[in-house]
Amino acid sequence: MITEKKLPKKEIVEEPAAEEKPKESTVEFLSSLAAVLVTGLFIITFVVQAFEIPSSSMENTLLIGDHVFVNRIQFAPKSSWIGPLLPYRDPRFRDIVVFLSPAEPGLYVVKRIIGLPGDRIHLRNGVVYRNGTALDEPYVLHDKDTYDPYRNNFPAVPPDDDPNINPNWLVDLPSYIHGDDIVVPPNHYFAMGDHRGVSLDSRYWGFIPRENVIGRPMFIYWSFETPDDQYRKTAWSDRILFLGKVVLHFFDETRWNRTFRFVR
């Protein structure tokens, strides 16, 4: 006779319910939001800043419609308490920099540093000579169908009633000419655009004071095909029309191959 053995019953032990996390109060939420906003504001004010390239003066290095992040720390005045921890340095030869225009207060400009303090600069037939040596500039875009004696033989050819030349620069220019060269004064820089045929640069408005230098473009975070004269259209109606174009043509007129391209 087979007898069934009763298996011991397994006791079911209920797990303790997980403790519910206390819900964030409105005050805590607002405090967190404020901290994020303050941190973001600090970063875009003192660390990096977004700029849009409005003109063709830096083609083909930077195109109209390129949006870049600019490092504001690198060229900033050194801080005594945090200075050793940050990579401060002065602008160097061939650095691309964003600066406040010495001719138009409040206007941000981007150019390439060609002359440092003490450098002797002149141009002959569009070729730049720095301290007597002709520069090899593979990044430069030359226009073969245009020739300007003042622009291409600076400072040998006197300016000829060019409305693009700053009047104050016309007065100051002769005092910086030594022989065939213009000599960059202390704490100033001589800058030029990579698109030499259209660039209005130090040949037209003079040297960049050190304190005017804002920072160095790091990389392009977005590039959109933009008309040459778009930056002149400041009316709200023009801005709204262009915003509508961006919305409609974001995918097909964004230059995707330029996204995250480093600026050199």
According to the model, what pLDDT value does residue 36 have?
52
Give yes or no for residue 89 having a pLDDT over 80.
yes
pLDDT over threshold 90, residue 127: yes
| Predicted pLDDT of residue 181 | 97
- Domain extent for 129: 48-262
- How much is the pLDDT for 114? 98
Q: Which is more confidently placed, 15 or 160?
A: 160
Contacts of 129 (CB under 8 A, 6+ apart): 121, 122, 123, 135, 181
Residue 38 lies in a domain: no
Summarize pLDDT for 17-69 with one digit per residue, the tens: 555 656 667 765 565 555 555 544 544 555 678 999 999 999 999 999 999 99
Average pLDDT rounded to a whole number, residues 246-254: 94
pLDDT of residue 35: 54
- CATH code at position 127: 2.10.109.10
Q: Residue 24: its pLDDT value, please?
A: 66
Q: Using the predicted structure, report yes or no on whether residue 111 has a pLDDT greater than 80.
A: yes
pLDDT tens-digit series, residues 151-198: 999 999 988 788 999 999 999 999 999 999 999 999 999 999 999 989
The answer to whether residue 211 is domain-embedded is: yes
In a domain, 29, yes or no: no
Q: Does residue 219 belong to any structural domain of this protein? A: yes
pLDDT band at 16 (very low <50, low <70, confident <90, very high): low
pLDDT of res. 40:
46
Burial label, 234 (beta-carbon count in 10 A; 0-12, 13-18, 19+): exposed
Whether 218 is covered by a domain: the verdict is yes
DSSP code per residue over the chain: ---PPPPPPPPPPPPPPPPPPPPPPHHHHHHHHHHHHHHHHHIIIIIEEEEE--SSTTTTTS-TTEEEEEESSTTSPPPTTTGGGS------TT-EEEEE-SSSTT-EEEEEEEE-TT-EEEEETTEEEETTEE---TT-B--TT---HHHHSTTTSPP-S-TTS-HHHHHHGGGGEETTEEEPPTTEEEEE-SBTTT---HHHH-PEEGGGEEEEEEEEEEEB---TTGGG--SHHHHHHHHHHHHHTHHHHB-GGGTTEEP-
pTM for the structure as a whole: 0.80
pLDDT of 1 reads 46
Please check whether residue 30 lies inside any domain of the structure: no
Q: Is residue 202 predicted with pLDDT exceeding 60?
A: yes
How many structural domains compose the chain?
Answer: 1
pLDDT in the model for residue 34: 59
Asked whether residue 3 is assigned to any structural domain, the reply reads: no
Q: 37 in a domain, yes or no?
A: no
Which of residues 23 and 117 earns the better pLDDT score? 117
pLDDT at 12 over 50: no
Query: How does the average pLDDT of the chain come out, rounded?
Result: 85
